[in-house]
Amino acid sequence: MSPRATVESDAPRRVLVTGGSRGIGAAVSRALARDGFDLALNYHSNTAAAEAVAEEVRAGGRNVSLLRFDVGDRQAAADALAADIAASGPYYGAVCNAGVRADAPFPAIRSEDWDRVLRTNLDAFYNVLQPLTMPMIRARRGGRVVVMTSLAGLAGNRGQVSYAASKAGLIGAAKSLAHELATRAITVNCVAPGLIETEMLEGANVEGLAAMIPMQRLGTPDEVAAVVSFLFSSGAAYVTGQTISVNGGML
């Protein structure tokens, strides 16, 4: 074992979940709370949804704080996270889930939409994780980082050049960070959902989409959350730098 390696601790553990108020993020928040983690739940605009998830977490006996900031705003993220760490101590882990899409054929992508997708999805990796990393290392308790990427980041998709670029970039960033943090017993992995029943698919032809999937159905947020839950478990302590697909066999 490396002399710098750290070991898991039984001390109370707190996890940051970005975009934790709806869809996959809400399912992840609930799953981690059931697994015994306290939460810092980030959201951007829907206060009612965030408070509803927080109430569920508290009803299950776990602590939760609500952090309202835009993950694409570097200073806002730094300020909110620094204040939360000062008040409650370093995080044991983080789930980078917040993201946006602005689908269009490449010739029609507006520059402002390109910038917004890359800023929210890819820049947020730095904005959120950079302020957390040294406090996690100094705590010497090990830890977990899970980055939500996408099938589009692995295989590409028509009309999603900006989205696919941002998600592919996250995979490269996570793999590199996994190398840097491995000796600290902090794992870094990606989860790549396929077509999942969330608000991002509202108005879509669900039957047509399901026909493209070998399992002939869309996935659920809880099925994605179950994989995140595994990556936070003691059984996943030797899993790092990986991308796990949850897509019904599409890739």
Domain annotation covers residue 251: no
The answer to whether 91 is a known catalytic residue is no
Report the domain count for the chain: 1
8 domain-assigned: no
Residue 103: give the domain boundaries: 14-246
With respect to residue 9, please indicate whether it lies within any of the assigned structural domains.
no
The answer to whether residue 102 sits within a structural domain is: yes
> Is 173 a member of any domain?
yes
Summarize pLDDT for 71-120 with one digit per residue, the tens: 999 999 999 999 999 999 999 999 999 999 999 999 999 999 999 999 99
In a domain, 3, yes or no: no
- Asked if the structure places residue 1 within a domain, the reply is no
SS3 labels along the chain: CCCCCCCCCCCCCEEEECCCCCHHHHHHHHHHHHCCCEEEEEECCCHHHHHHHHHHHHHCCCCEEEEECCCCCHHHHHHHHHHHHHHHCCCCEEEECCCCCCCCCHHHCCHHHHHHHHHHHHHHHHHHHHHHHHHHHHHCCCEEEEEECCHHHHHCCCCCHHHHHHHHHHHHHHHHHHHHHHHHCEEEEEEEECCECCHHHCCCCHHHHHHCCCCCCCECHHHHHHHHHHHCCHHHCCCCCCEEEECCCCC
Structure pTM? 0.93
Share of the chain above pLDDT 70, in %: 94
Q: What CATH number did the domain enclosing 237 receive? A: 3.40.50.720
- Across the chain, mean pLDDT equals 93
Stretch 26-54: mean pLDDT: 96
Give residue 206's pLDDT band: very low, low, confident or very high (50, 70, 90).
confident
In a domain, 5, yes or no: no
Of the candidates 43, 91, 92, 163, the residue annotated as catalytic is 163
